[in-house]
Structure 1
Amino acid sequence: MNTEPLAKTLRGAASWNRPLMVLTGVMLVAALGSALGLVVDDRVLTGAPIWLKPFKFAVSIALYSIAWAWMISLLPRKSRLVTASAATITAVLAVEYVIIVVQVVRGKRSHFNVQTPFDSAMFSIMGVSIGVLWVATLLLSIVAVRHKFGSYADTIAVRVGVVVAMLGISAGFLMLGPTSDQLASMKNDTFQGFVGAHSVGVPDGGPGLPVTDWSTTGGDLRIPHFVGMHALQFFPLLAIALLALATRIPALRPDRVRARLLMVAGGGYTAVLGLLTWQALRGQPMVHPDGLTLATLGVIVVAVVAGGVWALRTPAPVEADERELVAA
């Protein structure tokens, strides 16, 4: 078996952006370590295996880092702003992950925990780090949105991905405010030392879905946070999939058609993200939607299907990239 193409691809990927790719590698190792922790450490924290959070964060950070490293590698010029933003993202994500692991080793919650001065300091550092991450990602997103990435379809995919990802990151801020129960406990001297929550309508740590641990009894703001952030990977992968299908489906060969489909998908994805956020804020589990949620989802699906039909049926000029695709 010839492994040279794979080796060449890996060598190329390693040079995309050194800090982010180093972080990706470290997080992959951390994911393996956390998976081992799930096997050998039977401790449970807030209703879930204690090493589940480090595992999920390691995978998520790895995906986030490699996506940005790839996009940065496509920029024709690496400005100081891009270099500094990438380094900042690397640093704050590393800090956040270290704090998560430290708290796991101590058997304590990392998020929303202000029980002791040390816990409060750790959570405060995480809060500042996330704010810095948001700003650094916003700066990179502005650069990415202004750049042309190959074809029109590829450019739309990246632009939609980074914009929706910013919305997903922003959803995380909805978890930081004290809940009504926490505010009441502060007034009647029953405060338990936690400010903020990812669950809505139920306490954190209740029944949840396998692996993700998303609440099955109340709203969960981690869902729109996750779905939004990973638009960063979804839309470039969708663009790649459409291009691959274009070799077999003539209607997809024009670049403008694929771009229109990506815009329709972006609108639908954003609408679903809004629906998930609204559902969580109403304290409704994702797996138990009510009639209003299902009706809204139905409207979104109909709109996306109609948009897809429009994108496919609207004439598009024969372009140079289409002729190259047919020739290939």
Structure 2
Amino acid sequence: MAECPHFDHLLVIPHLRVQNANAISSPLTHGFPSISAFLGLMWALERKTSTMGLDLQFNAIGVVAHRHQEQVTDDGFVNAFRLTRNPINRDGSTAAIVEEGRIHLEISLVLAVQSAVLNADQHAAAPIAHQVRDLLLQMRIAGGSVIPNDIAHSRQQPYLVRLTGTEADRQVLFERAKLRLLPGFVLVDRQDLLEQRHQALLASDPEASRLDAWLSLSRINWHNAPANQDDAPAKPVAWSNDREGLGWIVPIPVGYGALGELQPPGTVSNARDEQTAFRFVESLYGIGQWISPHRLHSPQQLLWYAGSQPENGLYRCHNDYQPTPIYAFD
């Protein structure tokens, strides 16, 4: 299991409005951009900051969703994406344009930062935070356009959280910081639920696979109570589902798995970059959960980071969320 890289600061870019982001996160899932899109954004942002001479190393990223509006029709039980109407070719045929499902978002980005400049100069935090936000306004997030907000509003201003001192001090700072992300929901990894469901299915079907467990968690499974075996009058059938107590569980892509060996640069036709090695991959799937930020107990539970294993053909996104017991006052 990969470990979250070290960081000393959290750079928060709050309440970004994104228009027409890609809502299709993988060949099998939709509803929110893939977490790999945000990791790609993080790396692209790091390259842009380096060209400006900013000493910033982004090691992980967290996403807080405040609002979302998927662009679908409202036709009852079955919905369809609202697609664009593209011009046809000269001969009247349909242009070869791959349509994408779209979604409007309001999100906050939380970047785990390592920087010698920020460690040495406390007054550099505010200017650097605003520079990073200005760069984000010039970029696309999951294919969507970033719409500028009213930066004069206090909720829209970027800020830096210094996780300094002892572990107890860092915990207190994070407890204060996470409340500023409310109201909203954070996407975390729940691989543990997938393993639990797989073991439950194996008890009744020894040939059940992890794909069966993933499909089982991706839907709501209803069951009726056992039939009445005594002579008493028949009682109404009681139905229950297996989502009770699980929370907001969603199937998500968590990276890519290799379909073949790594190909040398320039050996694959029509590759975008002839200077970089190439590999054919397919999506890896897992289970995620949307939870409120106030239920997080450490920055690591919020953040996603890359844990690639090229020798094993795995390019996976990791998150260190660990479930804790839910008490009546939680």
Q: TM-score range by the shorter chain?
A: under 0.3
TM-score, scaled to structure 1: 0.28
Q: Which has the higher strand share?
A: 2
Pick the structure with greater CA Rg. Answer: 2
Report which structure shows greater RCO (CA 8 Å, sep ≥6): 2
